[in-house]
Each structure stands twice: as structure tokens, then as C-alpha cells.
């Protein structure tokens, strides 16, 4: 119904996105699609790697898986929001539950989405999160 | 002290002392609030969409899974949480009670969906000789019945032992298997057979590759050794599934699981896990899905029974299916019974009287196999056993048996035949003996008729290709084909009998099926449309309406199932709307009882927060501008963000519509002006009387009583957003839309309530509105004289069109409630509205 051409990204093109997920196939597909759409994207396959990336380069929006080796996505979210409160985090999980959804939102997630997700739908969420992240930065400056 | 008291009172009353802010700070605050408002609207959109999906699935009798319920409920709760957060930010921390209401409802939903899975108490193994019906929670249905049968005098069962529910639950919990399986399910597309096949394989591998707890493994081998000592040294066992949690009165679960035959000690562990894993075969998964069972509720127990060397085996129905009253069926063939239940073997069929001395009234022998391996005496013996089991268990039984070389009859299984699964003897109808008749013969599995293109299935690849509503044609009615039954129009098989598993499942789904129809895969051609009249055992060329017309509606296999019940319970916490009237004293955060109440409350309050901002903060940019227009009505516009052209000077008190850049507002405006209003209808004296009476009863309807937002007609706008609240005469209407390039955000919604005439006339208008809105693709909800209509996530041009429809309707349905009692008037308005709207929309293209 929606096609890629009908859909304009704006804020998403001005930010740096980090994808944290341990599923190589999923990451590869997303990397390809998002890069083609012109989004700057880094990858991490666990929380520790994600935190390392955050230390070394500016990140505005994170797409975070929940079940990963080491710290899970919800715990990782809390760590990120503690140190980098301006970063917006989209939780993307393969195992939904009402309880973990609320946990994620209470931890400060921008949104909580379920796999499998249509890439265009995810892109829209990224665009909205990016708009907010840019606003966060602006407000922090003021 | 007094000051503190005063501020306390003010706080309690919701009055805040606002800090003095600079123009720049005000603008930033306003922008932040608008940002929250937008997020709230998007969350509202997502929540309402998911709520509608849950509701529709139940109402339309669709097949849905626990994964669906869990996912959609999560979307609903997460988004409502987001709405509350944003509203609290907009309200500077007010609305604290919302969080309490939310937590209360959310915890209830959670408890309904995710019941905790706890270990099952009890022994891991029970010798079959000690098993009886009372142990069904430990051994599963099949083994409990078999143990019980074996305790009856004159009935033999093979020696063996049951591996219990507590053993398999332990295996699952130790390996943390339930979350892993649900994770795979969440990503499964149940409509795609190929995906189902792949995911089924994935889950089964997960189970087979997980280790048994060491002590369990050791004891399982020990049990086998005990069996060796009791019998002869080269005994092999059959590992049979015996599931728990299957309500056999409602569902047969026929042939869904695996039985591993000729298992020796070396392969015991593997065989046990293979049987456990067969709970996730594609056919079991699709069957559970169609019938509404939760996989966590079905615990697989396993019976390890010594193999019987069978010379002849078969099935008895202690009450004949499809046969004469007072008879029972004996189906049999040489060797083991497997060929009968999976329909690969040609089957002999005796019909025997239920009453002693059990006269054999009919013998249908397979022509190729003239020497019947079953003596009349054995048939009578089987009839005796069948009746004994029926009497003992108290209902007609489906009995599987084998006879060994010494002539001993062993009962291998006895289970109730659920009543609705007994096909009633089909009345012979007409056979059209003309050139349309392609095939005639076979046996009826499930009566009824179905039509569609022929699709012959031989392999898994064919299965993946199977189109919806096709006629499924197979050589053998194998249980593997069960996943196709939900999507087929009819089933035709060359072999098999009404006793086979697939035939049983076809009866449960109400799918017309015809078995043992010779030459079916040769005479029927892929793609050719045929009509299968299963009751009269005929297949015709083409589609024969008169046969299909007699069909009742197919039963919904999910009715009364655990998954359906779960959705019903969850919906009670999600969809009912109790907070319908914002003016009511009961419109309060603490009184929200459902998720719908919460969305309604948050939405209402968020609009008011935006509306009030200009006044509360003395913010000129946020103040209302009077719209310059030729209509005899006052329209006011409030700019929330970027709804006015940049060159518009915010100091102005008036604004022209050309200075508005809000695209949704412009669309509404175009709809309002597309046709001139023809004025109020001429009203009979009785109609007028009804209006005056209503006005005196309800002072809120008196236009002279002013109460901020109620009195004037307001547009709240930004470039992509518009909220129009209208009080035209005696009714209240609201149109709201967000239309941007992002699909997630897009929606159009409409609310309508009240009117001046008496209730029947008001409802008359609302019903007319509902009918027209539904015709133009809105999802409409009517409660009394309140109407809610919504459409979301469609293309922008589609949604702009819907806004025009709403703009048109709020102008042209003014005051028509007065004449709604007259069916002729109603008809006239309906035609006029539909015709003009269609014309207006077609002008766009």
C-alpha cells in the first residue's frame, strides 16, 4: 500500500542511528534497507558493544532488541538513559508481553515495537524518534 | 501558613500559579506541549487501531492465536501508557489518578494473558497396570483411559508405563522452553503454510536438541529395563502420545501427534523427545490454532507400551457413525492399525448389532483382499469389548485394537466419540445423471457440498501452493494434510474411510469430505472448477448453485475455546467505553475502568490543555481568531503550531481562510462549502413540540448558557492537524484528523452526540449518519445517541476525501433530526446525501 517513494524522511536523515541486536540476518536486512534510504547507521550485537559505541561517537536514536546475550534490552535501555538522556530508544522485541512493554516504557523508551515489523513502519518510528531527539538537543542548548 | 493553605486549596482545585514567562519561553513551552500532544495523538491512533483489530477478530469469527492477543494487547497498553505520560507532561504533572487506574487495568490484563506456568506435582513414571481415570492429570487422556480399560475383566492391554506430565513439564521448565517457543511463534505467519512448516521444524528441533534432566533420563532407562524383565528380552515399545488439556468432548485431536514404533533401549530418549516434539508438528499447530487451544495448556505425556505383533488390527465405533441406529462399526485390515487411521490402507468394514448376540448385519470387504482375516467370532468378541467399554465409560467409544498370533485381542486405545462428530446418516438426495457428473461413489466423511477449483496435493510443496477455497484432492487422506482443511472448500480422497483422522477433523470443521473415491486424482484435473456433493457422494463439473444453497454456515471451530475465552476476557478490560460524556461529573481519571476509557479521557483532556493554553498563559499566538466567512455561524481558529501562513500577524483578531495552511482544516472547509445548505426542514407541530420539551429538560442544550469550549465552534489547527468542535443548534460534533506523510500518525475521526428532538428522532439521525459513514469506509460505533466513527492509516488523499465527507455531513445534517420520524424524509435525505457526497469525491479525481 505504502511504497518507499511516497514516503519522505526528514529528521531521520539528520541523525545517527544505532541498531543493537544479536540476530545477524535481521541486522543485515535492516542495514541494507536503511542505508539505501540514506540513514547513517551503526551496528552492535550486545549491550556492552552498544555502550562502547555511545562512548566513542554521537548517537541520537537506538533500535534495541530485548533478548540478547549479557544485559537484556530493558536493562541496557536504563543504562543508556542514565548516561545519555537525550538519546531516544525504540525497543523492538521478538517476545512481547504487556509487562515487559510497560517496563520498557517506564525505563524511558520512545516506543515498544514487536517483531516481525514492516521496515516502512519501523522507518516511520525512527523518523518520529529522530524528530524528538533533535528537539531534545535543541532544548538542551537553550 | 495561610499562604501555604491557600496554595494547597488552589492545587486541589487545579488552579496553578503560573510563572511569568518571556515571549520566547512561552513559545518554547507551547512547542513542547504541542510536541507532547502530537505524540499523544499518535499513541491514541496506535492504541485504537489495535483495539479495533482485537474486536474485529472476535466479532467476525476469525482464527486468532494467543500471540495475536498478546501482541495487540501489548500495543494497546504501551500506547496508552505513552498517552498518560504525555498528558501528565502537558498538564504540568496533574492527572496523577490516571496512573493508578492504568496500573490496575494493566495488571488485570497481564493476569488474563500470561498465566504463570508452574511445575506439575507427582511421580515421573506410573506402570500402566496402576493407571486409572483418576490419574488423567498425570498420564494424559489416552493412557488414563487405557489403564482404566485394562482394569476391566476380559480386556487385555499391552504391558508398559506412562511418562507423566510432571516429567515433561520439568523438561520444558528446565530448558526454559516456553519463552523460546513463544518467541518463534510471534514471528510466525500462520497464514503462510511454508512459514508454518519452517517454524514447526524450528520448534521441534529445539525440543529434540534440549537435554533431558539427567535424573529423568536415568530413571526412564531404568523403567525400560524393568519392562524387559517382565516380558521377553528383545521387547520393543511403542512410544505413544497421551496429551493432557485436550477437551475431548469438543475436539478430537485425531492423529495429530507422532507414535514412535519398535523403539529399543538405545533409541528410547530420542523417541520420547520426538513424541513430545510432535506437539509442534505443523498439523498440530494449525489444528490448535483453528480450534483455539494454547500450546502451554496442552501437556504431552507419553505411554511406553510393549509392541504387539499384530496379525489383524482395526478400529471399532461402539455407536456406528453414519450407519443404522442400533449398530456398531468394526473397521479392520491385516497388520497394524496405522494404515486405517491415516487412510493409506483399504479397509474392511463390518456392521454389527450393538445388542447381544451381536449379529453381523453387513460385511463390506475390500475386493482385493477376499480372505477376510477376521473371523465372525472375533467380530462378535470385538463387539462385546466395545459395548463393555461404552458402558464403563458412559459414552460411545472409538477403540483401537490389535490381535496377536495367539488370537488374543489387545485394546490399544479407547476414547469417547464426541456427539457432534457423529455424522448423521445422510439422506439420499438427487444425483444429476447428466454430463456434469464426473464421479460417483466413495463414502461420506462429512456431509455437505462445496465448490472450487481442483487442487491435487501430493507433496509438501503442493501444500504450500494450495490456494484458498480450492477443492483439496489427495490420494490418501493423511493427517499431514490437516493444515489445509481450514482453507479448502471440500476434501476428496481416493482411499480412506470415515474412521480416518482426516475425516474426523473434516467433520469438526464442517468441511464436506468424500473418501475412498476411486480414480479421484486421475479423473479430476487441476484448476477445473467442480462441485463436491459429499452427502450424495458425487463430484460434478462446474459450480452448481442449487447444491451449494442448501449449505448452512460452517461452524466456527474456535467457539467456546480457551483462546477465544481469553480474548473475550481481555476485551472486557479493553474496549467497553464508560466515559462517554466529558460534561458528566463521572468523567474522571479515577473512574476509568477500561483501556478505552483511558484513551478517551486522555484525548479529551489533551485537547482542552491545548485549547486553554492561550488563555492560561496569556499567549497571544495561542488565542482564538475569528474566521471571516459568509455562513451565519461563528467559527474560531486556534493555531497550535504551524497552522497559519507565516505572513499572518498574530495580533489580528480575524483570519481569512486563505491564511490558514492546515491541510485537514481546508479539506473540512471544502466539504462544508461543497453544496449550499438548504435550510432547516419544514417541521410538523408535533416535531416542534418534541424540541421544546427536550430543551426544557436539558438546560445544557440551551445555546444561551455559555460554557467555554461548548459555546462557539472551534478549529484547533496545525499544518497536519485539525480538531473541529461544533455546537450546531442542539448537537455536539467533533471532527479530528492528523494527516502527514507518516502513515503511523494518520487518522480521521468523528464524534457526534445529542440533538434537540426526542430520543427516537435523534437516534434516527444518528443511524442515518452511521449508515452513510460506514458506506464511506468509516468504522462506526453507535451507543444510544452517541456516534463514534474512525478510519486510520490510509493514504493521504483518501483521508482528505473522508474529511470532506464529514465537513459536508455536519452542515447538511443540521436540524434534520426533527423530521427523522418520517421514513420518507429519511429516504430522501439518504439519497441526497449519498449522491452529493459521491459527486463531491469524484470531482477530486
Most confident of B125-139, B233-247, B411-425, B684-698: B125-139
A29 touches chain B (CB under 8 A): no
Q: Any residues with CB less than 8 A from the CB of B810 and at least 6 apart, and which?
A: B672, B726, B728, B733, B735
Query: What is the distance between the alpha carbons of residues B745 and B38, in angstroms, rounded to a whole number?
Result: 9
For residues B769 and A99, give the distance between their C-alpha atoms in angstroms, rounded to a whole number: 40
CB contact under 8 A, A114 and B71: yes
* pLDDT category of residue B486 using cuts at 50, 70 and 90: confident
* A94 → closest Cβ in B106, B186, B742: B186
Q: Give the nearest chain B residue to A124 (CA atoms).
A: B742
Q: Which CATH architecture has domain B312-421?
A: 2-Layer Sandwich (3.30)
B744/A96 touch (CB, cutoff 8 Å), yes or no: no
Q: Do A112 and B85 touch (CB under 8 A)?
A: no
Percentage of chain B beyond pLDDT 90 is 55
Q: What are phi and psi of B392, to 5 degrees?
A: -65, -45
Backbone angles phi, psi at B213, to 5 degrees: -55, 135
Write the CB contacts of B507 (distance below 8 Å, at least 6 apart in sequence): B421, B423, B445, B446, B513
pLDDT bracket for residue B702 (50, 70, 90): very low
Q: How far is CA B201 from the centre of its chain?
A: 25
B603's grid cell: 484525548
Give chain A's domains with CATH numbers.
4-141 (3.40.50.2300)
Residue B520 has pLDDT above 50, yes or no: yes
- Bridge partners of B439, per DSSP, are B539
Chain segment B48-60, per-residue pLDDT in tens: 999 999 999 999 8
Whether residue B618 has pLDDT greater than 80:
no
Asked if B743 and A2 come within 8 Å (Cβ–Cβ), the reply is: yes
The whole-number average pLDDT for the span B4-13 is 54
φ, ψ of residue B191 in degrees (nearest 5): -85, -10
Cβ <8 Å between B78 and A1: no
Ramachandran quadrant class, B115 (left: phi over 0; alpha: psi -120 to 50; beta: rest)? beta
CA distance A56 to chain B (A): 30
User: Own/partner pairs for B367-376, CB < 8 Å, 24+ apart?
Assistant: B369/B333, B369/B334, B372/B348, B373/B311, B373/B312, B373/B332, B373/B333, B373/B334, B374/B312, B374/B314, B374/B330, B374/B332, B374/B348, B374/B350, B374/B403
Hey, is the C-beta of A35 within 8 angstroms of any chain B C-beta? no
Between residues B750 and B480, which one has the greater pLDDT? B750
Euclidean distance between CA atoms B321 and B317, whole angstroms: 7
Residue entry with cell 531534545: A136
**Region B355-382: what's the mean pLDDT?**
81
Nearest CA in chain A to B38: A128
Question: Which sequence spans correspond to the domains of chain B?
Answer: 2-114+572-592, 125-306, 312-421, 451-543, 660-692+719-844
* For residues B791-812, average pLDDT: 94
The answer on pLDDT for B188 being more than 50 is: yes
Q: Give the integer Cα–Cα distance in Å for B404 and B311.
A: 6
On whether any CB of chain B is under 8 Å from the CB of A104, the answer is: yes
Residues of chain A with pLDDT under 70: 1-7
Q: Tell me if A97 and B742 make a contact (CB, 8 A cut-off).
A: no
Q: How far apart are CA B774 and CA B445, in angstroms?
A: 42
pLDDT at B177 over 80: yes
Q: What is the ipTM of this complex?
A: 0.95
Helix (H, G, I), strand (E, B) or coil at B541: strand
B780/B727: higher pLDDT: B780
| Residues B811, B677 contacting (CB under 8 angstroms) | yes
B 65-104 residues inside an 8 A Cβ radius of A: 70-71, 73-75, 77-78, 81-82, 85
Q: What is the 3-state secondary structure (H, E, C) of B91-149?
A: CCCCCHHHHHHHHHHHHHHHHHHCCCCCCCCCCCEEEHHHCCHHHHHHHHHHHHHHHHH
- Grid cell of B174 as nine digits: 528446565
C-alpha cell, B411: 485394546
Q: Does B176 touch chain A (CB under 8 A)?
A: no
Q: How many CB pairs under 8 A join A and B?
A: 82
Report residue B247's pLDDT band, with 50, 70 and 90 as the boundaries. low
Q: What's residue B565's pLDDT?
A: 94
Q: Tell me the three cell numbers of residue B835.
A: 449522491
State how far the Cα of B498 lies from the Cα of A8, in Å rounded to an integer: 59
Please report the pLDDT score of residue B683 as a whole number.
56
Predicted pLDDT at B711? 59
Q: What angle do CA B46, B48, B54 make, to 5 degrees?
A: 105
CA distance B290 to chain A (A): 22
Contact A98 B85 (CB under 8 A): no
Packed helices B823-844 and B759-775: angle between N→C axes, nearest 10 degrees: 30
Tell whether A72 is within 8 A of chain B (Cβ): no
Helices vs strands, H then E, count in chain B: 25, 28
Mean pLDDT of B189-198: 88
From the list A2, A102, A114, the residue facing B186 with the nearest CB is A114
Q: Is A102 on the interface with B (CB under 8 A)?
A: yes
User: Which of A101, A116, A142 lies at the smallest CB-CB distance from B78?
Assistant: A101
Burial group, residue B147, by CB count within 10 angstroms (0-12, 13-18, 19+): buried
- Residues on chain B touching A121 (C-beta within 8 angstroms): 743-744
> Is some CB atom of chain A closer than 8 A to the CB atom of B22?
no
The yes-or-no verdict on residue B358 having pLDDT over 60 is: yes
**Alpha-carbon distance B26 to B38, whole Å?**
18
Average pLDDT over all residues of chain B? 87
What is the CB-side half-sphere exposure of residue B93 using CA atoms within 13 A? 4
Task: State the sign of the Cα–Cα–Cα–Cα dihedral B696, B700, B703, B705.
Answer: positive
**Phi/psi at B750 (5° precision):** -145, 135
How far apart CA A59 and CA A80 sit, in angstroms, is 11
Encode pLDDT of B408-456 as tens digits.
999 999 988 865 555 454 456 778 888 899 999 888 888 899 999 999 9
Query: pTM of the prediction?
Result: 0.85
Instruction: Provide the pLDDT confidence category of residue B554 given band limits of 50, 70 and 90.
Output: confident
Q: How far apart are the first and last CA of chain B?
A: 69
**Is the dihedral angle over the CA atoms B700, B703, B705, B708 positive or is it negative?**
positive
pLDDT of residue B249: 62
Strand partners, B156: B410
Kindly indicate the confidence band of residue B722, based on its pLDDT and cuts at 50, 70 and 90: very high
Largest CA distance in chain A: 42
Query: B835 by DSSP, 3-state: which?
Result: helix
For B721-785, strand residue ranges (E) read 721-728, 731-738, 747-754, 779-783
Provide mean pLDDT across the span B761-790.
89
When CB atoms are compared, the residue of A7, A105, A139 closest to B78 is: A105
Distance from A88 to chain B by nearest Cα, in Å?
14
* Min Cα separation B69/chain A (Å): 10
B258 has pLDDT over 90: no
Q: Each residue of B66-104: pLDDT tens digit?
A: 999 999 999 999 999 999 999 999 998 899 999 999 999
At the second CATH level, the architecture of B451-543 is 3-Layer(bba) Sandwich (3.50)
CATH code reported for the domain at B125-306: 3.30.1490.20
Q: Rg of chain B over CA atoms, in angstroms?
A: 35
pLDDT at B835: 95
Predicted pLDDT of residue B255: 78
Give yes or no for residue B552 having a pLDDT over 50.
Answer: yes
Amino acid at each position: 500500500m505504502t511504497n518507499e517513494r511516497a514516503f519522505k524522511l526528514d529528521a531521520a536523515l539528520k541523525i545517527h542511528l544505532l541498531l543493537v541486536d544479536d540476530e545477524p540476518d535481521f541486522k543485515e536486512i535492516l542495514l541494507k534497507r536503511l542505508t539505501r534510504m540514506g540513514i547513517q547507521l551503526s551496528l552492535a550485537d550486545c549491550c556492552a558493544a552498544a555502550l562502547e559505541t555511545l562512548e566513542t561517537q554521537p548517537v541520537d536514536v537506538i533500535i534495541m532488541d530485548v533478548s540478547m546475550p549479557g544485559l537484556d534490552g530493558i536493562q541496557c535501555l536504563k543504562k543508556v538513559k542514565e548516561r545519555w538522556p537525550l538519546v531516544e530508544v525504540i525497543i523492538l522485541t521478538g517476545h512481547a508481553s504487556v509487562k515487559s512493554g510497560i517496563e520498557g516504557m517506564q525505563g524511558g523508551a520512545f516506543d515498544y515495537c514487536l517483531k516481525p515489523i514492516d521496515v516502512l513502519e519501523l522507518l516511520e518510528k525512527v523518523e518520529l524518534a529522530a524528530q524528538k531527539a533533535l528537539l531534545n538537543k535543541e532544548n538542551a542548548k537553550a | 501558613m495561610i499562604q501555604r493553605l491557600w496554595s494547597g486549596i488552589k492545587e486541589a482545585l487545579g488552579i496553578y500559579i503560573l510563572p511569568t514567562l518571556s515571549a520566547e519561553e512561552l513559545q518554547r513551552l507551547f512547542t513542547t506541549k504541542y510536541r507532547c500532544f502530537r505524540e499523544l495523538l499518535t499513541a491514541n491512533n496506535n492504541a485504537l487501531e489495535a483495539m479495533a483489530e482485537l474486536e474485529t477478530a472476535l466479532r467476525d469469527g476469525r482464527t486468532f492465536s494467543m500471540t495475536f492477543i498478546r501482541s495487540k494487547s501489548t500495543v494497546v497498553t504501551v500506547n496508552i501508557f505513552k498517552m498518560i505520560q504525555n498528558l501528565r507532561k502537558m498538564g504540568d504533572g496533574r492527572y496523577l489518578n490516571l496512573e493508578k487506574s492504568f496500573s490496575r487495568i494493566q495488571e488485570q490484563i497481564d493476569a488474563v494473558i500470561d498465566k504463570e506456568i508452574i511445575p506439575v506435582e507427582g511421580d515421573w513414571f506410573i506402570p500402566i497396570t496402576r493407571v486409572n481415570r483418576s490419574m488423567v492429570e498425570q498420564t494424559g487422556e489416552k493412557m488414563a483411559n487405557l489403564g482404566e480399560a485394562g482394569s476391566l475383566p476380559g480386556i487385555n492391554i499391552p504391558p508398559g508405563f506412562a511418562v507423566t506430565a510432571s516429567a515433561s513439564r520439568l523438561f520444558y521448565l528446565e530448558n526454559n522452553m516456553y519463552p523460546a517457543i513463544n518467541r518463534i511463534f510471534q514471528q510466525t505467519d500462520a497464514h503462510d503454510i511454508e512459514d508454518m512448516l519452517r517454524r514447526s521444524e524450528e520448534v521441534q528441533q529445539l525440543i529434540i536438541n534440549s537435554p533431558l534432566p539427567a535424573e529423568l533420563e536415568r530413571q526412564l532407562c531404568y523403567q525400560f529395563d524393568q519392562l524387559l524383565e517382565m516380558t521377553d528380552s528383545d521387547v520393543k515399545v511403542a512410544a505413544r502420545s497421551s496429551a493432557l488439556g485436550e477437551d475431548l468432548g469438543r475436539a478430537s485431536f485425531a492423529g495429530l501427534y507422532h507414535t514412535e514404533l519398535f523403539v529399543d533401549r538405545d533409541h528410547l530418549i530420542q523417541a520420547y523427545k520426538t513424541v513430545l516434539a510432535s506437539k509442534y508438528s505443523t498439523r498440530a499447530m494449525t489444528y490448535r490454532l483453528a480450534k483455539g487451544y494454547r500450546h502451554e495448556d496442552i501437556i504431552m505425556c507419553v505411554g511406553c507400551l510393549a509392541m504387539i505383533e499384530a496379525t489383524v488390527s482395526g478400529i471399532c465405533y461402539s455407536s456406528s457413525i453414519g450407519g443404522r441406529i442400533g449398530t456398531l462399526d468394526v473397521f479392520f485390515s491385516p497388520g497394524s492399525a496405522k494404515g486405517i487411521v491415516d487412510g493409506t490402507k483399504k479397509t474392511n468394514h463390518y456392521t454389527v448389532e450393538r445388542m447381544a448376540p451381536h449379529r453381523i448385519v453387513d460385511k463390506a470387504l475390500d475386493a482385493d483382499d477376499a480372505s477376510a482375516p477376521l473371523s465372525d467370532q472375533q467380530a462378535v468378541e470385538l463387539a462385546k469389548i466395545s459395548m463393555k467399554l461404552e458402558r464403563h465409560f458412559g459414552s460411545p467409544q472409538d477403540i483401537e485394537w490389535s490381535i496377536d498370533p495367539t488370537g488374543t485381542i489387545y485394546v490399544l486405545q479407547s476414547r469417547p466419540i464426541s456427539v457432534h462428530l457423529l455424522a448423521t446418516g445422510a439422506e439420499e438426495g438427487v444425483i444429476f445423471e447428466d454430463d456434469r457428473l464426473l464421479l460417483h461413489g466413495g463414502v461420506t466423511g462429512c456431509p455437505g457440498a462445496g465448490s472450487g477449483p481442483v487442487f491435487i496435493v501430493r507433496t509438501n510443496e503442493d501444500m504450500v501452493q494450495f490456494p484458498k477455497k480450492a477443492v483439496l484432492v489427495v490420494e490418501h487422506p493423511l493427517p499431514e494434510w490437516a493444515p489445509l482443511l481450514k482453507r479448502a472448500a471440500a476434501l476428496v480422497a481416493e482411499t480412506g474411510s470415515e474412521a480416518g483422522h482426516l475425516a474426523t477433523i473434516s467433520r469438526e470443521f464442517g468441511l464436506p469430505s468424500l473418501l475412498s473415491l476411486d480414480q479421484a486424482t486421475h479423473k479430476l484435473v487441476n484448476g477445473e472448477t467442480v462441485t463436491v456433493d459429499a452427502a450424495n457422494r458425487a463430484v460434478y463439473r462446474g459450480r452448481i448453485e442449487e447444491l451449494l444453497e442448501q449449505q448452512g454456515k460452517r461452524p466456527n471451530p474456535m467457539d467456546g475455546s480457551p483462546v477465544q475465552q481469553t480474548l473475550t476476557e481481555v476485551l472486557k478490560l479493553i474496549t467497553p467505553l464508560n466515559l462517554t460524556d466529558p460534561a458528566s461529573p463521572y468523567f474522571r481519571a479515577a473512574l476509568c475502568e477500561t483501556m478505552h476509557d483511558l484513551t478517551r479521557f486522555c484525548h479529551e483532556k489533551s485537547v482542552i490543555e491545548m485549547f486553554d493554553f492561550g488563555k492560561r498563559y496569556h499567549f497571544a499566538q495561542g488565542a482564538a481568531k475569528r474566521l471571516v466567512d459568509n455562513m451565519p455561524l461563528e467559527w474560531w481558529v486556534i493555531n497550535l503550531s504551524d497552522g497559519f501562513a507565516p505572513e499572518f500577524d498574530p495580533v489580528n483578531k480575524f483570519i481569512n481562510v486563505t491564511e490558514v495552511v492546515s491541510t485537514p482544516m481546508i479539506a473540512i472547509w471544502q466539504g462544508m462549502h461543497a453544496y449550499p445548505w438548504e435550510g432547516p426542514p419544514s417541521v410538523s407541530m408535533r416535531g416542534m413540540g418534541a424540541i421544546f420539551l427536550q430543551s426544557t429538560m436539558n438546560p445544557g442544550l440551551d445555546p444561551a448558557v455559555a460554557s467555554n469550549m461548548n459555546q462557539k465552534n472551534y478549529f484547533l489547527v496545525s499544518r497536519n492537524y485539525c480538531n473541529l468542535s461544533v455546537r450546531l443548534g442542539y448537537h455536539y460534533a467533533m471532527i479530528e484528523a492528523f494527516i502527514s506523510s507518516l502513515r503511523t500518525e494518520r487518522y480521521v475521526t468523528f464524534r457526534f452526540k445529542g440533538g434537540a428532538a426526542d430520543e427516537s428522532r435523534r437516534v434516527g439521525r444518528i443511524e442515518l449518519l452511521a449508515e452513510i459513514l460506514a458506506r464511506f469506509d468509516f468504522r462506526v460505533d453507535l451507543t444510544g445517541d452517541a456516534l463514534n466513527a474512525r478510519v486510520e492509516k490510509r493514504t493521504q488523499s483518501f483521508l482528505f476525501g473522508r474529511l470532506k465527507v464529514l465537513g459536508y455531513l455536519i452542515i447538511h445534517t443540521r436540524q434534520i433530526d426533527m423530521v427523522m420520524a418520517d421514513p420518507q424524509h429519511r429516504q430522501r435525505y439518504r439519497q441526497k446525501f449519498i449522491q452529493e457526497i459521491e459527486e463531491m469525491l469524484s470531482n477530486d479525481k
